[in-house]
Amino acid sequence: MAPSFTARIQLFLLRALGFLIGLVGRAALVLGGPKFASKTPRPVTEPLLLLSGMQLAKLIRQRKVKCIDVVQAYINIIKDVNPMINGIVKYRFEEAMKEAHAVDQKLAEKQEDEATLENKWPFLGVPLTVKEAFQLQGMPNSSGLMNHRDAIAKTDATVVALLKGAGAIPLGITNCSELCMWYESSNKIYGQSNNPYDLQHIVGGSSGGEGCTLAAACSVIGMGSDIGGSIRMPAFFNGIFGHKPSPGVVPNKGQFPLAVGAQQLFLCTGPMCRYAEDLAPMLKVMAGPGIKRLKLDTKVHLKDLKFYWMEHDGGSFLMSKVDQDLIMTQKKVVVHLETILGASVQHVKLKKMKYSFQLWIAMMSAKGHDGKEPVKFVDLLGDHGKHVNPLWELIKWCLGLSVYTIPSIGLALLEEKLRYSNEKYQKFKAVEESLRKELVDMLGDDGVFLYPSHPTVAPKHHVPLTRPFNFAYTGVFSALCLPVTQCPLGLNAKGLPLGIQVVAGPFNDHLTLAVAQYLEKTFGGWVCPGKF
């Protein structure tokens, strides 16, 4: 299935166009972008900001810390840091302070003991941020689409309601890419988010505002949605934890845009956080009744797990080569697992991984059970009303007149070219089924797979336009419907986060979450920006 000459020419032209657009974008950033005295925020010094959600909840339940002090500490750092990173795009500080005061009043009455409080409200008083694509009552819910900018959520998304019901206090909503379909979080409503480890670098997408907000200690727990890596790429680029659950476990209701048809199966909502110990408790809350499909309370003996690893996709002509920094970091993990943990570790070569991008396109081309075609991205741009002509929008964009971002215009232009015919879909569907069986059989119920999160560390702003297919390193596991935890592994020589994906078989999320906690303990987990 080698690419045809025509396909290679199309790829060259696409990359050339992306390169030119990227140059324009970089020039705009240099000439007109925001200027800051430092390229990273100051290191965090407030002790309350350096505790996990679980630790904060325990201190609040024990009445050793007032909830209002915790929330105020987060408000203070947000006011200081958010102007630099533009992660949170709408605050709800007044409401949050009222909710924190209510928590303190409840605790002052001492009507319930600590165990009862923990059972009822496991995240009592813990600050939370919410991706703008999720409904949070009274807050905007546009996903960065200008045509939808006046939309205000009248209710909460299911996962938001569940976390609020567990006692979490939302501080605000966070930025995303336009319609959640690009891996740089920038749009015409809220602008561009910046990486707290270097403001000239991207935060990833589509849950990038959430990623940089958590990394900058402006929040402790958050949520994202993932259909191609939208939790995992921001978690990787920002050096935090993110988990894409097994499909169908966590409800997706209350998002804009919401996947429909066959794509509903592949969209996953999951937790994002700075500390690995918060992942499983968050997932238990966010899943609601769906948690019964997982085995999160099963004790995992890491030494008995079978570890498999692969350092790149096998040489796809579409993707960049994996950075040596990332390969060496992965090998350090492998050596540690073998020599210190004493686990079984095996290097594998899954040849079909080089078709990762094609498998993701096949997933997005799948028809629904009713035979209907997937919703067209160009229709989403028009918000199912206004007709959008992508070519005309490209011309307008060149003149600075379009209300759409260039990644969205480019996707709308290429949409029909990218969508597979039935024959091509069936060909790659067969590849996907074969690869999934190979992985599932290999992993069983006691195996995990270590795989790069992305070919590079967080690139500079607009560079993704020249490397549009690199997201397939995360996208492939969306197509394969497998649970994945993104784990941070320190910083490279330039102070940018390193990391790795930990993959397990269907509904074996407990394995990846256990490995995440072990890797955090061994390699340090989240590193505070500004300390490099």
E-only strand ranges, 56-154: 88-91, 127-131
Tokens 């060259």 correspond to 12
Chain mean position to CA 49: 22
Do strands 127-131 and 268-273 pair parallel, antiparallel, or not at all (unpaired)? unpaired
Separation CA 477–CA 448 (nearest Å): 13
Tell me, letter by letter, the H, E, C secondary structure of 7-40. HHHHHHHHHHHHHHHHHHHHHHHHHHCCCCCCCC
Chain mean position to CA 445: 25
Q: How many CB atoms lie within 10 A of CB 261?
A: 16
CA 219 to each of CA 14, 15, 62, 210, 223: distance values in angstroms, whole numbers, following the listed order: 38, 37, 21, 9, 11
Instruction: Report residue 531 as tokens.
Output: 């300390």
- Sorted by sequence, the CB contacts under 8 Å of residue 91 that are 6+ apart come out as 78, 171, 172
- Sorted by sequence, the CB contacts under 8 Å of residue 41 that are 6+ apart come out as 80, 81, 84, 85, 196, 216, 529, 530
Catalytic center residues: 131, 206, 230
- Render 203-215 in DSSP notation, one character per residue: --SSSHHHHHHHH
Residue 404 · residue 397 · CB < 8 Å: yes
Q: Which of 240, 141, 132, 214 is nearest to 176 (CA)?
A: 132
> Coil, helix or strand for 85?
helix
CA 343 to each of CA 33, 326, 438, 472, 513: distance values in angstroms, whole numbers, following the listed order: 49, 22, 22, 29, 17
**Beta sheet of 169-174, edge-to-edge order:** 88-91, 169-174, 127-131, 221-226, 268-273, 241-244, 484-491, 497-504, 447-451, 306-309, 344-347
Residue 479 · residue 441 · CB < 8 Å: no
> Coil, helix or strand for 484?
strand
